[in-house]
Structures are given as C-alpha cells and as structure tokens.
C-alpha cells in the first residue's frame, strides 16, 4: 500500500513537471518549491496559471477518474464473481452517458445553476444500466445465474441499446451535438478546478464505501450460503456495492466522458501482484487506477503534441489486448 502511494506521488510530480506547454521542468520544480515554502515565484503570472489552473487540475481529475473506474471495476467483479465485469462492459458507462446526454440536451444552461444535476442523472443511468445487464444475464443464463459469456453478451446488448438511445437524442437536437460529442470522446483537456470539485465528493464517498466493503466481498466470494451462515445478507451487500460502484462510475463519466478498459485492466494487474483478497484489491485499485489514467493522459497529450489524442485511444491500445488475454484465460479455466 505504501509503495503504491509512493508510486502515485512520483507519477503525479513527474506529470506536473513535464507537461506539454514548453515550460522547463527545472522552472516548474522551482515554482512548486516556492509555493510550498512561501518563497517568490520564478514564473510569470501567465506561466504560473498554466501550472496551477490548467496542468494540476487536469492531473488531479485524471487521478480521480482513474481511481473511480478501477475501484468500481474491481467491485463489479467481486459482486458478479466474474473477471470480465467492468463499468464499460456492464452498461454502467453507457447508462451514465445516455442520462448525461439527455440532461445536456434538455438543460443546456445547467452549468450556471448552483446545483449541477449532471452527476445525479449519470448515477441513475449508470445504476439502471448495470441492473438491466444483470437481469438480462440472469434470465439468459438459466437457473437464475449468469455465466461469464451471458453476462458479457447482456452487457454488450444493454450498452448498444443505451448508446443507440443516446445517439437518437443527439440527432433530434443537432444544435447541441458538438458539445455532446466533445464530451463523449473522453479526456481532460478542458479540465479545471470546477470539474474536480464537482466529482470529488461523489468519488470520495464511493471510494470509502467500496473500501469498507472489501471484507464483505471476500465473504461473498465464498458463496451466498456461507455469507448467510455468518449473519450477512448477500442481497443487501450487493445492492450497497452496486450503488457505490455506480456512483463512482457516474461521477467519472460526468466529468470525463466515456473511457474504456480502466476498470478491467487495473484490478487484474492488482490481483496478479497482491493476491485475491478484496480488502487489498479495492484500495490498491484506487491507487493503481489513478496512476494508470494519469500516465495515459500524459501520453494522450504529448504523443502528437501540439495535437492531442482522445484518452480512450490510449486506454484501448492497452486494454483491448489485455481483455483478450483475460477472455482467453477464462475460457481455458472453464
């Protein structure tokens, strides 16, 4: 855990130092030291604003979103006892995206409101997408349970349907298509402190709940009968975990758009390195997800500088082959 936190701090500092604005890392480091010690800033007001108003909030938001998606993915895998469960594959991200699109279209001036309804709408859509996938997977799997294949197919079906609804809403409101499309691409190029403050309370609450539920997920892994014999109620545990994971996913999607594969790659890497206990997997997924997405965002912003790649391209290059390996190993064990 301490090693993971150390890696996160190092990645954060390096990301702040290098950036893509042309400021030398020595000058940026001197600016950070000056701010921490109360000294005189070596940068102009403009250059200091680049660091503190553009670069730092972008990195912080990438870390928050990565932590949210990775921890949600780990807990979805624990609840469904399925190694392929992921916010993107279960329809959670698609549900959040659909609901957020509807809000963006219906309430285009909401950003000026004292209370932003976007995360709440995304949460409702996210939870609805997961529930639909779970119900469809159970009905198709027989005996009231869903196999890896049926859950995956159900997730694809639900996500496709919700994405179709989202596209339909966009086409009915062509005047807002550009704003929605930019948001859907996923990324942090427009991130500011307002986005950080919008997502932080929801992600922090979800992270605390999911971390505390790690022990309960370990018990659920033994089976519902074993959990019930210990005085636990599996149904309530699943509802609590699904609600918290969907809240984390919704908060992430509402400020970053749709970013795939974080929730499946990071938990599996953590599982390989730290074992199968969710008491360890969940907090390490929070840290690992933050590291993963900060690095991915740095690559997205620097690979084709001054142009910028959508961060989903970077995560897909990493996640798609990894997903194929997981699917292959799951098939081999079956």
Contacts 24+ apart (CB under 8 A), 170-174: 170/101, 170/105, 172/105, 173/105
Say what the pLDDT of residue 110 is: 63
pLDDT for residue 114 is more than 70:
no
Please choose, from the candidates 198, 166, 170, the residue with its C-alpha nearest in 3D space to the C-alpha of residue 96.
166
C-alpha separations of 31 from 16, 35, 41, 45 in Å: 11, 6, 6, 11
For the ranges 91-95, 161-165, 290-294, the lowest mean pLDDT is seen at: 91-95
Say what the pLDDT of residue 319 is: 84
pLDDT in tens, 219-263: 999 888 888 998 889 889 988 998 899 899 989 988 888 888 999
pLDDT in tens, 197-225: 989 999 999 999 999 999 999 999 988 88
Which residue intervals of the chain are DSSP H helices?
2-18, 25-37, 45-49, 56-80, 92-106, 118-141, 148-172, 177-184, 193-212, 214-220, 224-229, 234-256, 262-274, 278-302, 311-333
Does the domain spanning 2-333 belong to CATH 1.10.3470.10? yes
Q: At what angle do helices 56-80 and 262-274 cross, to 10 degrees?
A: 70
More confident residue, 22 or 118: 118
Percent of the chain with pLDDT over 90: 35
More confident residue, 269 or 187: 269
């Amino acid at each position: 855990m301490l090693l993971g936190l150390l890696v996160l701090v190092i990645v954060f500092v390096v990301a702040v130092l290098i950036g893509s604005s042309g400021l030398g890392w020595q000058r940026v480091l001197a600016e950070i030291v000056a701010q921490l010690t109360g000294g005189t800033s070596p940068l102009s007001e403009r250059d200091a604003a680049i660091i503190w108003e553009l670069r730092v909030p972008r990195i912080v938001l990438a870390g928050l979103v990565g932590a949210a998606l990775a921890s949600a993915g780990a807990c979805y895998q624990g609840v469904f006892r399925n190694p392929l469960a992921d916010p993107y594959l279960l329809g959670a991200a698609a549900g959040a995206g659909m609901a957020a699109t509807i809000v963006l279209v219906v309430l285009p001036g909401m950003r000026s409101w004292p209370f932003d309804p976007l995360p709440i709408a995304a949460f409702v859509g996210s939870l609805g997408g997961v529930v639909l996938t779970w119900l469809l997977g159970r009905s198709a799997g027989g005996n009231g349970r869903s196999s890896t294949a049926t859950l995956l197919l159900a997730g694809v079906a639900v996500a496709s349907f919700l994405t179709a609804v989202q596209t339909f809403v966009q086409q009915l409101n062509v005047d807002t298509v550009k704003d929605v499309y930019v948001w859907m691409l996923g990324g942090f190029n427009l991130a500011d402190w307002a986005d950080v403050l919008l997502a932080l309370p929801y992600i922090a609450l979800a992270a605390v709940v999911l971390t505390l539920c790690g022990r309960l997920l370990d018990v659920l892994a033994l089976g519902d009968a074993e959990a019930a014999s210990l005085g636990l109620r599996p149904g309530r545990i699943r509802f609590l975990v699904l609600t918290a994971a969907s809240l984390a996913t919704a908060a992430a999607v509402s400020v970053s758009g749709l970013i795939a594969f974080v929730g499946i790659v990071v938990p599996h890497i953590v599982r390989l390195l730290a074992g199968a206990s969710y008491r360890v997997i969940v907090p390490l997924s929070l840290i690992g997800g933050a590291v993963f997405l900060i690095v991915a965002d740095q690559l997205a912003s620097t690979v084709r500088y001054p142009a910028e790649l959508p961060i989903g391209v970077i995560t897909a290059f990493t996640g798609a082959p990894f997903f194929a390996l997981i699917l292959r190993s799951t098939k081999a064990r079956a």
